[in-house]
């Protein structure tokens, strides 16, 4: 779906009074609870359930999405919750957002797949920081698509990283029914090959 489609989807849900998910992705909450708050980047944040939760827990959060309507909902929620979340409207597929290298303590990318965003996200994680991803994967005889990886494919992007969590199967999220791959990986403190 393109940005205009996402904007229309968010606006139509808002118009009919449909609730947007407010609980964070369980993996984000489980992972962040064991960390000291720092700088977090939520890529493809949607209406910001993860960004808001992280901000409530003391994280300095930047949330990026291409859908203006989603960011507007996130902004309204942040004001109601009296938390600060920096929002950035950028079409990730068009490369409109540059991830600052070696800057973020935690980067989250949940239920969004853009293969050419994985390396910038990895590079944006500070040494010793974490990158958390949840993506849909193919099932049965399905072929990989723009929005789904093959089973086992996500972990191959993290060679040389410390894998703290790796799961494939049924999602633990009521809003998603398709099989997922989840990963939480720590960026090495020293460059790979120099240890």
CATH of the domain at 177: 3.40.50.150
Q: Write out the residue range of the structural domain in which residue 120 sits.
A: 18-186
Question: Does residue 45 lie within any of the structural domains?
Answer: yes
Mean pLDDT calculated for residue range 174-193: 85
The pLDDT score that the predictor gives to residue 172 is: 84
Tell me the DSSP string of 133-155. EEEEE--TTPPPBTTEEPTTHHH
Domain assignment present for 4: no
Residues 115/176, Cβ–Cβ less than 8 Å = no
In a domain, 81, yes or no: yes
Instruction: Kindly state the average pLDDT of the residues 101-111.
Output: 97
pLDDT interval class at 59 (50, 70, 90): very high
Q: Residue 1 falls within a domain, yes or no?
A: no
- Rounding to the nearest 10 degrees, give the CA dihedral for residues 25, 27, 33, 39: -70
What is the pLDDT at residue 140? 87
Determine the pLDDT at residue 195.
Answer: 46
- Which range of 96-110, 133-147, 173-187 scores highest in mean pLDDT? It is 96-110
Strand partners, 107: 41, 131
Count structural domains, the chain: 1
In whole angstroms, give the CA distance from residue 108 to residue 18: 25
**pLDDT category, 18, cuts 50, 70, 90?**
very low
CA distance 134 to 171: 9
Q: Is the pLDDT of residue 171 over 90?
A: no
pLDDT at 5 over 90: no
Question: Residue 123: pLDDT above 70?
Answer: yes
Residue 11 domain-assigned (yes or no): no
The mean pLDDT of 14-29, rounded to a whole number, is 70
58-67, 130-139, 156-165, 185-194: which has the minimum mean pLDDT?
185-194
Residue 49 is assigned to a structural domain of this protein = yes
Average pLDDT along the chain: 89
Contacts of 67 (CB under 8 A, 6+ apart): 3, 6, 7, 9, 10, 46
Residue 12, in any domain of the structure: no
Which residue do the tokens 């120099």 mark? 194
Question: Is 10 within the bounds of a domain?
Answer: no
Q: What is the mean pLDDT of residues 169-195?
A: 83
Predicted local distance difference test score (pLDDT) of residue 15 = 40
Mean per-residue pLDDT, 80-91: 96
Given this model, what pLDDT does residue 4 score? 61
Range 31-36 contact pairs with CB under 8 angstroms and sequence separation of 24 or more: 31/106, 31/130, 31/132, 31/164, 31/165, 31/184, 32/57, 32/59, 32/106, 33/57, 35/105, 35/106, 35/130
Residue 1 has a pLDDT of 53
pLDDT tens-place string over residues 129-139: 999 999 999 98
């Amino acid at each position: 779906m393109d940005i205009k489609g996402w904007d229309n989807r968010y606006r139509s849900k808002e118009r009919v009074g449909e609730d947007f998910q407010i609980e964070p992705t369980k993996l984000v909450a489980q992972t962040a609870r064991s960390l000291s708050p720092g700088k977090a980047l939520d890529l493809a944040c949607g209406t910001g359930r993860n960004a808001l939760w992280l901000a409530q827990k003391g994280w300095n959060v930047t949330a990026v999405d291409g859908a203006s309507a989603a960011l507007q909902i996130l902004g309204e929620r942040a004001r109601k919750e009296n938390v600060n979340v920096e929002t950035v409207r950028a079409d990730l597929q068009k490369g409109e957002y540059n991830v600052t290298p070696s800057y973020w303590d935690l980067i989250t990318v949940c239920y969004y797949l853009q293969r050419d965003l994985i390396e910038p996200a990895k590079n944006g994680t500070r040494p010793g920081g974490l990158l958390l991803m949840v993506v849909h994967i193919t099932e049965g005889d399905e072929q990989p698509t723009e929005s789904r990886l093959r089973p086992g494919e996500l972990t191959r992007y993290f060679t040389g990283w410390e894998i703290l969590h790796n799961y494939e199967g049924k999602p633990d999220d009521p809003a998603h029914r398709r099989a997922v791959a989840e990963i939480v990986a720590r960026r090495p403190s020293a460059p790979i090959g120099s240890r």
